[in-house]
Amino acid sequence: MATNLYSADVLFKGKLAGILEQTVTGGTRFTYGDGWTGDIACCFPATQREHNWANGLHPFFQHLGPEGWLREKQARGAHIQDEQNDFALLLAYGEDCIGAVGIRASEEADIPKVEEGAPTPGKTLSGVQKKLLVVKDGDGFVAAGRDGPAPYIAKFNSEAREGLVRNEFLSLQWAAKILGKNEVTQFKTGHFGEEIALIVSRFDRTEKGEKLRLEDFAQVLVKPRGVNYDGKYGSSYEEVARVIREHSARPVIDLDKLFRRLVVFAALANCDAHLKNFSLLETPEGLRLSPVYDVLNTAIYDDLDRNFGLSILGRSRNLEELNGTLFRKFGAEIGLHERAVELALGDLKKQIGKNPINAPSGEPPNGFVSRFEEVVRNQCLRLFEE
């Protein structure tokens, strides 16, 4: 691999939009190409032709890269000794990323050599959980190759966490019942070899495989990922609401959606609703809040943090602090009318009453779904029975 400073083409929907390069001072610079007029991201307005970042890779591009299990596998597959080398990982795997932006080496010599059998060459996605971009293959799914589309994400169980696939399936299923089917990403279970996986349909690709612009809120807010990938937690739900006000084509509607989602996340005891789990998605009317994704009942795992994902009303909040009074104050804080807040809470309470979580017949009281249901029931009592 070349020892000179990296340089890469930045692609937007497969077309050359500009150049990303390392600087001699240890930062990076993104420059729009001559004649390119549209924004490729909220943090890169095209009216400003050059965008500099002083230290390392710009956060927008950092958040395109993998985390956790996939990062380790892709670094090993491309002989990248330093797993923290975000730029090298994107040169090896970043031509097809989540959303519409991709990275392609400007010179052949700059590309880390990817071994045959490395996971999804030329493609990558972010997230700590064990996951892969996959395609349908008969009755099951296989890893996506370098060429062709990758319309699904497969998410797998972990030895460290009981029933991750079952947990997320139940969480998404219940969220879809409460919020509405169209508010949640499409999902199902399927087989990847001998493993059972949660199969999520990508909403950043059309049925024809065309790329749609998608930016998570860590990218929009230009939050560095951090050495321990904790940058996505360094924010507040008020800041999430501000992004919606500034960038959504329908901010009033999307603020209402945000409010309802946060109440449902509180009901599910989903304490991992960080910045990367909210995104703006390209639609015919402009950028809109994307469907719900990456939802998990985290309180079922005793060793995980029980604080809500981001701060709310000025500080971090434990699950036990999340109640109707707090959310009414939050709704007012982000500019929702009192009638809209009460309507949302009334709608959610009604749907929750219609859609109880029921453990399978014969499951013992300490069974997985029984414990899941108990957590949700206790949370709903705090939220709606004041």
What CATH number does the domain containing 368 carry?
Answer: 1.10.1070
Cα 230 to Cα 259: distance, rounded to the nearest angstrom: 24
Cα 328 to Cα 256: distance, rounded to the nearest angstrom: 12
Residue found by looking up tokens 């449902």 in the block: 264
- Of the pLDDT bands very low, low, confident and very high (cuts 50, 70, 90), residue 359 is confident
Final residue belonging to a domain, choices 72, 107, 142: 107
86 and 219 assigned to the same domain: no
The dihedrals phi and psi of 200, each to the nearest 5 degrees, come to: -110, 130
Cβ atoms within 10 Å, residue 290: 23
Final residue belonging to a domain, choices 83, 107, 131: 107
Q: In a 10 Å sphere around its CB, with 0-12 CB exposed, 13-18 middle and 19+ buried, how is residue 20 labelled?
A: buried
Position with higher pLDDT, 25 vs 227? 25
Looking at the chain, the whole-number percentage of residues with pLDDT higher than 70 is: 98
* SS3 category, 267: helix
Cα 224 to Cα 232: distance, rounded to the nearest angstrom: 8
101 and 218 assigned to the same domain: no
Q: Is residue 270 part of a domain?
A: yes
Instruction: State the average pLDDT over residues 84-112.
Output: 89
Q: Is residue 193 part of a domain?
A: no
Residue pLDDT, tens place only, 147-195: 889 999 999 999 888 899 999 999 999 999 999 999 999 999 999 999 9
Instruction: State the average pLDDT over residues 10-26.
Output: 96
Residue 117's pLDDT is: 82
Q: Is residue 165 part of a domain?
A: no
Our CA dihedral for 179, 211, 67, 368, rounded to 10 degrees, sits at: 30
Is the CB of residue 211 less than 8 Å from the CB of residue 317?
no
Total of domains in the chain: 2
Q: Could you tell me how many residues make up the chain?
A: 386
Q: Is residue 115 part of a domain?
A: no
Q: Is residue 367 part of a domain?
A: yes
DSSP helix, strand, coil percent of the chain (3-state; round to 5)? 35, 20, 45
Q: Is residue 127 part of a domain?
A: no
Final residue belonging to a domain, choices 62, 84, 107: 107
Residue 320's pLDDT is: 94
Q: Is residue 175 part of a domain?
A: no
219 and 368 assigned to the same domain: yes
Instruction: State the average pLDDT over residues 279-284.
Output: 98
Is the CB of residue 75 less than 8 Å from the CB of residue 135?
no
Q: Check whether 324 has a pLDDT greater than 90.
A: yes
Tell me which residue range forms the domain holding 265.
212-384
Residue 1's pLDDT is: 38
Is the CB of residue 1 less than 8 Å from the CB of residue 17?
no
Q: Is residue 16 part of a domain?
A: yes
99 and 216 assigned to the same domain: no
101 and 243 assigned to the same domain: no
* 264-270-273 Cα angle (round to 5): 95
227 and 95 assigned to the same domain: no
Is the CB of residue 181 less than 8 Å from the CB of residue 22?
no
